A and B are shown apart, each in its own frame.
Chain A
Amino acid sequence: MKILKLLLILIILGVGGVAAVMYSGVVDVAADEPHSDFVYWLLEETRETSIKKAAHSIEVPDLSDPELLLTGGVDYEYMCSSCHLKPGQNESDMSLGLYPAPPNLAVADDSHKGHEHGDEMQSTRKNFWVIKHGIKASGMPAWGKTHSDERIWAMVAFLKRLPTLTPEQYQVLTAVD
């Protein structure tokens, strides 16, 4: 009985504490004020582990068809480049203003600090999952609601080659017909 009482008190204290934090307005939600290192680590670990688990069983199709680069390139230019940048570009309004900052996908994976990539297959699966489902409260939309899996795979194929492209190659591949 004593244990039950103690548990009840702890639950009430916990709920009360959370409510106090929620309604006091002490949490700064401004995107130009970064999280503390601890909160950032907590959120990032949660995100990366979740994506890894969710994307684990995705079957990767053959992405070597050059046609995929053309379809994926145009979609990348219009849907992604304003946040994730393009060859020869270092920043944009969106890349500077969003928090957490969107990774620069025009540079090699090693340059993305804080984002786990694993091996190439794991990275490919992760890219597909993130494009299709998006990430809550990060500014990354779920493109799967409006785009077929085929189109998303084409974007994944384009992403694999993006860090190797010159600005001239990017221009040709992403231009409209």
Chain B
Amino acid sequence: MKTLTKIALILVPAITLSVTVAAHDPSMHAKKAEKADCSKMDHSKMDMKDPVAVAMMKKCMKQGKASMNKMDHSKMKGMDHSKMKEKKMKKDDHKNH
């Protein structure tokens, strides 16, 4: 019983201290490579003469193209192209142009 008490007396403060030391997590200092979050961009409010707006558009377009290129079509075995209807556009469909 005495040995158990001694172990507890050593372990409890040791664990408490180590938890305090780990409180400032080293991962807080790690930089993570983030993708641009383009979902919050409101194009209607963007002044395309402003270099910031132009740069943001460029970044998001570049990111969009990159993610399209990353798609590996050869691995898409389940895709049945025959079931994919190709929509042919008629001249009449262009009502607004």
Contact = CB atoms under 8 A, between A and B. Distances in A.
Contact of A175 (B36, B40, B52, B58): B36
Interface stretch (B6-14, B27-35, B72-80): B27-35
A150 interface: no
A78 B29 contact: no
Contact of A70 (B34, B41, B58, B66): B58
Contact of A64 (B37, B51, B62, B66): B51
Contacts of B51: 64-66, 69, 161
Given A168-B37, A172-B37, A177 B62 contact: yes
A62 to B, nearest CB: 11
A55 interface: no
B56 A169 contact: yes
Which label, helix, strand, loop or mixed, suits the secondary structure of the B interface?
Answer: helix
Interface string A121-163: 0000000000000000000000000000000000000000100
B6 to A, nearest CB: 39
Given A66-B54, A161-B51, A168-B37, A173 B31 contact: no
B67 to A, nearest CB: 11
B66 to A, nearest CB: 6
Interface residues on A, range: 20 to 34
Interface residues of B, number: 21
Contacts of B58: 66-67, 70
A172 B29 contact: no
Nearest to B51: A66
Nearest to B36: A175
A172 B33 contact: no
Contact of A172 (B31, B41, B66): B41
A169 B51 CA distance: 12
A177 B55 contact: no
Contacts of B59: 70, 172-173, 175, 177
Contact of B55 (A67, A93, A168): A67
Interface of B: 29, 31, 33-38, 40-41, 51-52, 54-56, 58-60, 62-63, 66
Interface of A: 64-67, 69-70, 73, 77-78, 93, 161, 164-165, 168-169, 171-173, 175-177
21 contacts: A65-B51, A66-B52, A66-B54, A69-B51, A69-B52, A69-B55, A93-B29, A161-B51, A161-B52, A168-B40, A169-B56, A172-B36, A172-B37, A172-B56, A172-B60, A173-B55, A173-B56, A175-B34, A175-B36, A175-B63, A177-B62
